[in-house]
Amino acid sequence: MTTAALLLLQSAAAIAGAGLWLAAGFTTGSSTTRADRRERLIVTALAAGGTLLLVVAAVGAFILAGRGWWFAGEKVVAGLPFQVAGFAAGAVGVSWWLRGIRMPLARTLVLGGGYAMAAAAVATWLVGYPPQPVATLLLGVAVLLGTGLTWALLTHRGRRALAGFAGLLAVLLAGGVGWSWLSDTAAPRIEASTAHGHDGPATDAATATASSTSSTSVSDLRTPAEAPGDVHRFELTAARHDVELASGDTVEAWGFGGDTVVGPELRVTEGELVEVDLANRDIDDGVTLHWHGYDVPNGEDGVAGVTQDAVLPGERFTSRFVADTPGTYWYHTHQAASEGVRRGLYGMLVVEPAAGIAESLDLALPVHRIGGEVVVGATDGPQSFEAAEGDTVRLRVANTEQAPMRVTVVGAPFRVAAVDGRELSAGDEVEHRSVRLGAGARADLVFTVPDDGVRFETDFSAASVVVVAPPASEGPDLAREVSDVPELDLLAYGAGNGDDGSVDAALADLGPFTAEGELVLDRMPRFVGGAPTYAYTVNGQVFPHIDPIGVREGDVVKLTVVNRGFDVHPMHVHGHHVLVLARDGVPATGAPLWLDTVDVRPGEVWELALVADNPGIWMDHCHDLSHAAAGMMMTLAYEGVTTPFEHDAHGNRPE
Ligand SMILES: [Cu+2]
């Protein structure tokens, strides 16, 4: 059984088990005399069924613990004690009730047991991972107070007892909500902790002096004025504009210029110095330019509230970076992006190798959804490109959407030549395979055009297909559902068995790990920006309160990313690529796979290596941008780097 299915089954059993015990408690009725045979049968059956489900939940928790403590921590540490105590109370209560003795207390025990089991079930959402002692304690007190209130009701203790228990419960609830709200107002945790070297008040002054002299602002981590390379300049103006889609619909889009949904393609050559002037005409929320997958200096990274302020209407910002890494990238706003990117504030960035492109045709096609249509490149609906038979084509595909996408090439074998802007060595040609791209990810597909051409398809839309074919042909006439095409496993793709080409060799080149980080992804109720939210969490916290992954320049960082939730999380790390070591304990065996966006499905565990070679404060977040807006953002922060920008000032919204 998959870990995701186990998580679901375990939670369902815990909830249903508690539900049956509570039902048994309510069925014990209000009469003070011994129940009739039918009532006794019902209560016995409910309690037995509830107990069976609790056993299923407990076994599930232990199997999950075997898959990784991240999946089961709170279920074992908090849930199991609640369940055992609840069962003990409930069993005593039922046995008394069946014999008709100590009636009010018997029923109180059955109901109280049910409350404890319910607390165990909700611990998954309220206590989470890592298990929080305070939340566990509050749950326990709530169970006791609820049981006390029940006892006061059943024994007709009078108003004072009732009001006492109800009042304490209300205080507890208010305290829990208040504590959660207070955590939301606590100081942000965006910079690396400077706790290193502190060993007492006597050295505080010295440490402060040392760190102030050695600290660097993100504003100083810009591309130097004297950077080498011929300048290749672009101007982008962010503005609202109406776009007429091929479907005939007009959508109100936000864009970086032109009359299409997508912004202009920025195509540069390796070695050039790229300068992009951004102006904001009328995007009231403000905009920025983030170079997704291109590892620019930190000050050029374009994250509002972390590396710069949002560019408001009438304002400008110039990004500069040396294009020294050929590959396929994209750019988009990193200010209120969950709305801005969806509405069209994105485009492609292609860095061509200085030696030129080996293929005869080079296409860069982002895939996006707007106004209910799927736009491939600048076109929704079918489109075609001409190429002669025998021509080679490099198709650079970017998923600029929020959900994973599967793509395939129909009519010819193809090779995955690059992923996330990094070439893959010696991948074989494959046929009848699909490539899965998480939100934000890119792949370069290379193929040779046959006499009747090829068709490029995505599982986002059967209508928005791209045909590449000789002039006389209309493309291959093969009906195929992308979702039916088996998925190519990129962890086992490409030459990895040679001495030099393997993941192990790539890892050995990096040297031993000197730092580590663990990201446990989940969904829990939290305050986000002052509003109660069913939030997306990392290690039980939401932005900006998630402890950063703190590193020093030169560190080799082992990252473990775990998804305990039921949503896919395409985790994107800025300024760096990560080498995939293993997924669910299975080592990567293909060509070394360097990603900037790791699509972590429910129940998955990814082990990654990152080289800290680009100082700064870097966002590390989910690229399902609605998840990012609901808390799932944190930083990879270099010691000694500070930011003068504030995540909640100047209209900044870093997501
Ligand atoms: Cu997510």
**Degrees to nearest 5, angle at CA 180 with 176 and 185:** 145
The pLDDT assigned to 504 comes to 86
Phi–psi pair at 443, nearest 5 degrees: -145, 145
Q: Are 252 and 210 in contact (CB under 8 A)?
A: no
Q: Can you tell me the distance from the alpha carbon of 456 to that of 365, in angstroms, rounded to the nearest whole number?
A: 11
424-435 b/e with 16+ CB inside 10 Å = b?
beebeebeebbb
Q: Ligand 1 center to residue 504 CA distance, Å?
A: 29
Q: Ligand 1 center to residue 397 CA distance, Å?
A: 21
User: Could you count the other beta carbons within 10 Å of the beta carbon of residue 469?
Assistant: 23
Q: Ligand 1 center to residue 572 CA distance, Å?
A: 10
Instruction: Report the chain's C-alpha Rg in angstroms.
Output: 29
**Degrees to nearest 5, angle at CA 40 with 34 and 44:** 135
Q: Can you tell me the distance from the alpha carbon of 90 to that of 47, in angstroms, rounded to the nearest whole number?
A: 8
> What is the chain's length?
655
Of 194, 231, 232, nearest to 214 by C-alpha is 194
**Degrees to nearest 5, angle at CA 84 with 83 and 90:** 85
Q: Can you tell me the distance from the alpha carbon of 549 to that of 561, in angstroms, rounded to the nearest whole number?
A: 12
Q: Ligand 1 center to residue 296 CA distance, Å?
A: 24
Of 367, 366, 360, 422, nearest to 394 by C-alpha is 360
Q: Ligand 1 center to residue 531 CA distance, Å?
A: 19
Q: Percentage of the chain with pLDDT > 70? A: 95
- What mean pLDDT do residues 526-530 have? 91
Q: Ligand 1 center to residue 627 CA distance, Å?
A: 5
The pLDDT assigned to 211 comes to 45
**pLDDT tens-digit map of 405-444:** 999 999 999 999 999 999 997 788 999 999 999 999 999 9
Q: Ligand 1 center to residue 358 CA distance, Å?
A: 36
Mean pLDDT (the chain, rounded): 92
Q: Ligand 1 center to residue 438 CA distance, Å?
A: 11
Q: Are 268 and 230 in contact (CB under 8 A)?
A: no
**DSSP 8-state class, residue 79:** I
**pLDDT tens-digit map of 249-290:** 888 999 998 788 999 999 999 999 999 999 999 999 999 999
By mean pLDDT, which of 108-117, 242-251, 294-303, 567-576 is the weakest?
Answer: 242-251
Q: Are 294 and 422 in contact (CB under 8 A)?
A: no
Q: Can you tell me the distance from the alpha carbon of 482 to that of 487, in angstroms, rounded to the nearest whole number?
A: 9
The pLDDT assigned to 194 comes to 61
Q: Ligand 1 center to residue 239 CA distance, Å?
A: 28
The pLDDT assigned to 498 comes to 56
User: Could you count the other beta carbons within 10 Å of the beta carbon of residue 255?
Assistant: 24
- What mean pLDDT do residues 238-250 have? 88
Q: Can you tell me the distance from the alpha carbon of 125 to that of 633, in angstroms, rounded to the nearest whole number?
A: 19
- What mean pLDDT do residues 141-149 have? 96
Q: Ligand 1 center to residue 645 CA distance, Å?
A: 25
Q: Ligand 1 center to residue 570 CA distance, Å?
A: 6
Q: Ligand 1 center to residue 135 CA distance, Å?
A: 24
Q: Ligand 1 center to residue 245 CA distance, Å?
A: 29
CB proximity list for 158: less than 8 A, separation 6 or greater: none
- What mean pLDDT do residues 67-85 have? 96
The pLDDT assigned to 210 comes to 43
The pLDDT assigned to 206 comes to 40
| Residue with tokens 């305070």, as numbered in its chain | 134
Prediction pTM value:
0.93
Q: In this model, does residue 365 exceed pLDDT 80?
A: yes
Q: Ligand 1 center to residue 400 CA distance, Å?
A: 14
**pLDDT tens-digit map of 595-626:** 999 999 999 999 999 999 999 999 999 999 99
- What mean pLDDT do residues 623-635 have? 96
pLDDT greater at residue 561 or residue 495: 561
Element holding 316 (H helix, E strand): strand 316-322
Q: Percentage of the chain with pLDDT > 90? A: 79
**pLDDT tens-digit map of 8-52:** 999 999 999 999 999 999 998 766 667 788 889 999 999 999 999
Q: Ligand 1 center to residue 568 CA distance, Å?
A: 6
Q: Ligand 1 center to residue 632 CA distance, Å?
A: 7
**DSSP 8-state class, residue 265:** P
The pLDDT assigned to 34 comes to 72
**pLDDT tens-digit map of 578-596:** 999 999 999 999 999 999 9
Element holding 519 (H helix, E strand): strand 515-528
The pLDDT assigned to 360 comes to 95
Tokens of 162: 């009732």
Of 370, 330, 367, 363, nearest to 346 by C-alpha is 330
Q: Ligand 1 center to residue 141 CA distance, Å?
A: 33
The pLDDT assigned to 497 comes to 57
Q: Are 285 and 651 in contact (CB under 8 A)?
A: yes
Q: Ligand 1 center to residue 637 CA distance, Å?
A: 21
Q: Ligand 1 center to residue 144 CA distance, Å?
A: 36
Q: Ligand 1 center to residue 623 CA distance, Å?
A: 6
Q: Ligand 1 center to residue 563 CA distance, Å?
A: 9
Q: Ligand 1 center to residue 631 CA distance, Å?
A: 9
Q: Ligand 1 center to residue 131 CA distance, Å?
A: 21
Question: How many angstroms from the chain centroid is the CA of residue 374?
Answer: 23
Q: Ligand 1 center to residue 72 CA distance, Å?
A: 20
**pLDDT tens-digit map of 536-574:** 999 999 999 999 999 999 999 999 999 999 999 999 999
489-508 b/e with 16+ CB inside 10 Å = b?
ebbebbbbeeeebbbeebbe
Q: Which residues pair with 571 in a beta bridge?
A: 598, 622
Q: Environment class of residue 471 by beta-carbon count within 10 Å: exposed (0-12), middle (13-18) or buried (19+)? A: exposed
Q: Ligand 1 center to residue 3 CA distance, Å?
A: 18
Structure-derived torsion over alpha carbons of residues 499, 500, 501, 502, reported in degrees to the nearest 10: 60
Q: Ligand 1 center to residue 628 CA distance, Å?
A: 7
Q: Ligand 1 center to residue 484 CA distance, Å?
A: 25
One-letter identity of residue 538: V
Q: In this model, does residue 212 exceed pLDDT 80?
A: no
**DSSP 8-state class, residue 75:** I
